[in-house]
Amino acid sequence: LAKTTQPISMDSYEGQEVNITCSHNNIATNDYITWYQQFPSQGPRFIIQGYKTKVTNEVASLFIPADRKSSTLSLPRVSLSDTAVYYCLVGNAGNMLTFGGGTRLMVKP
């Protein structure tokens, strides 16, 4: 399984754009990059998944450079309700999900 490295914590303010970068230097050719969000006392929730370039959905964008050794989750105009832990996972159909420590995002008013 590709090991991922992401910042332990980040602070932001309401209305700002937040970018969380994840490093995965040994990503395999058939690996996908997936981000989950977890609020306190809740199970993780799927946010977005991508393989290369850029993916956008109603809540976030995922930027993946050509070498795929890193990825950046972008949350536009965050609000207090975006305060959560964000997990970056890398794997494919043959792997189990392996959660690291995640990035604890604190959005301040």
* Among 29, 41, 58, 109, interactor with another protein by CB under 8 A: 41
- What is d(CA 98, CA 109) in angstroms, rounded to the nearest whole number? 33
Residue 90, token pair as written in the block: 């890398």
**Site for another protein contains 46 (CB under 8 A):** yes
Q: Judged by CB under 8 A, which stretch of 17-25, 62-70, 72-80, 83-91 contacts another protein? A: 83-91
**Site for another protein contains 82 (CB under 8 A):** no
CB of 58 to another protein, least distance (A): 15
Specify the residue, 43 or 109, whose C-beta has the smaller distance to another protein: 43
